[in-house]
Structure 1
Amino acid sequence: MRKRKDFKRREGVKSARLVVIAAEGRNTENIYFESMKVSLCASDVHVEVLHRDSNESSPENVYEQIRKFMSEYNIEDDDQLWIVVDKDKWKDKMLSAVAQYCTQNDNLRFCVSNPCFELWLLLHIENIATYNEEEMAALKMNRKVNTQNTWLKKRLKDLTGHYRESDYDAMALLSHVDIAIERAEKLDTTPTDRWPQSVGTRVYLLAKSIIGRKDNI
């Protein structure tokens, strides 16, 4: 059996807690977390965002990306490995399988957004608690509104002036991360569920971990 390597952690902080992120999307999530790593990461945290070349983005594939990392490197007790996926197109059975893997390893975290990661971005700049029934239904369904955009993508574009999955200003959003955390927490009315059953996102837990807030991680 091949010996695992020690991961090279943040320079000057030998005991830095490792936060590894593997996400369903190839661009949107990585842009956000790479920006967060640069601007808001706690001094005793090392963030490692895993990238991939393929379009294989099922929850199982994202888990395999994390599993491969775990097979290559020594993982400390307080390290966290986050599987960041969307609820929208995946069946409960597929999500349940990955959630089960996470219950079997204390280092793993299952981080689902319902319907998708763009909800987390939206919470930085809009309070969806003010939405009427029609707006909330449109958000939840998140259908395509034109050839390029879903409802959430168009909403982000309308509010920020420019939004594409591979091109948006994450730094501008991050200046509002505290309010996004607060709004996401209020949406998470059943935190013991394995993922949000209605509109909601668990990315707030990952954000707290990166910036060093100890509550509810």
Structure 2
Amino acid sequence: MVAKRRSFPRPSAQRRYRKLFVLAVEGTVTEPQYFQMFNSEVSIIQVKCLKGGHKSGPFHVLKRMKKYLDDVELRKTDEAWLVVDKDEWSDSQLNELYQWSASTGQYGLALSNPKFEYWLLLHYEQGKGVSSSRSCTERLNRYIKNYDKGIEGKLPTLEQVKNAVERAKLRDTPPCKDWPRESGQSTVYKLVEAILQSDE
């Protein structure tokens, strides 16, 4: 005789958070580690990173985001952002990302010139005189010893994050319409500011 299985009511799949930020990023380590710090048990927002893997160019970042959005429908309060470096990508490559980001108020493009590490540098200093990826990494190593594509255990404080937002704003004057063309600028502050304001 087979015993009857007891059935328990299954809890509804209700999200604990009010707003979701979906980020398609180029990197597989630093960017996910950085944005993960905005998630917590008490947070009313959730940040989800779609990691880059070996295919990290602008086309692949956008493709990864589109694939995710084909499977998951955003709520009206949610946002989807592309987070990329200027690196050696051409204007035409980046323009495709910008056109996608401008197609709806729920999308955004956050670009650091020359790379994401410049955004990290702004947590510690004004970031003046950064002319290349190499100089950016060398400067960042002054503050994060042995920085090597990872900041686990070395995450900035909330005060440092807010300082980075203000420093990036000062360097983005007047605010660029699409992405920063000059080295030593980052529009990641727009994304981080949106996250911080949503979690208040």
Give the CA RMSD over aligned residues.
Answer: 2.2
Relative to total residues, which structure has the larger helix share, 1 or 2? 1
In 1: Cα distance, 2:161 partner to 2:71 partner: 32
Structure 1 match to 2:78: 79
Structure 2 match to 1:210: 195
In 1: Cα distance, 2:168 partner to 2:56 partner: 24
In 2: Cα distance, 1:37 partner to 1:169 partner: 15
Q: How much does 1:61 deviate?
A: 0.7
Distance 1:9 1:57, change over 3 A: farther
Structure 2 match to 1:195: 179
- What are the ranges of 5 or more consecutive residues in structure 1 without an aligned counterpart? 1-7, 143-149
Bigger Rg over Cα: 2
Deviations 1:105-150 (A, max 9, x none): 332111111111111100001123xx4xxxx1xx2233xxxxxxx2
Structure 1 match to 2:4: none
Q: Is it true that 1:166 corresponds to 2:166 in the alignment?
A: no
Q: How much does 1:101 deviate?
A: 1.6
Q: Is it true that 1:179 corresponds to 2:163 in the alignment?
A: yes
Structure 1 match to 2:31: 29
Structure 1 match to 2:137: 153
In 2: Cα distance, 1:26 partner to 1:170 partner: 17
Paired residues of 2:27 and 2:51 also in contact (CA < 8 A): no
Q: Please give the TM-score of this superposition, normalised by the length of structure 2.
A: 0.83
Structure 1 segments, 4+ long, off by >6 Å, are none
Structure 2 match to 1:46: 46
Query: How many pairs are equivalent?
Result: 186
In 2: Cα distance, 1:123 partner to 1:195 partner: 17
Q: Is it true that 1:141 corresponds to 2:132 in the alignment?
A: yes
More moved, 97-106 vs 84-93: 97-106
In 2: Cα distance, 1:59 partner to 1:17 partner: 25
Q: Please give the TM-score of this superposition, normalised by the length of structure 1.
A: 0.77
Structure 1 match to 2:3: none
Distance 1:171 1:69, change over 3 A: same
Distance 1:170 1:50, change over 3 A: farther
Identical-residue share of aligned pairs (%): 31
AA partner of residue 141 (structure 1):
S
Distance 1:60 1:79, change over 3 A: same
SS at match of 2:37: helix
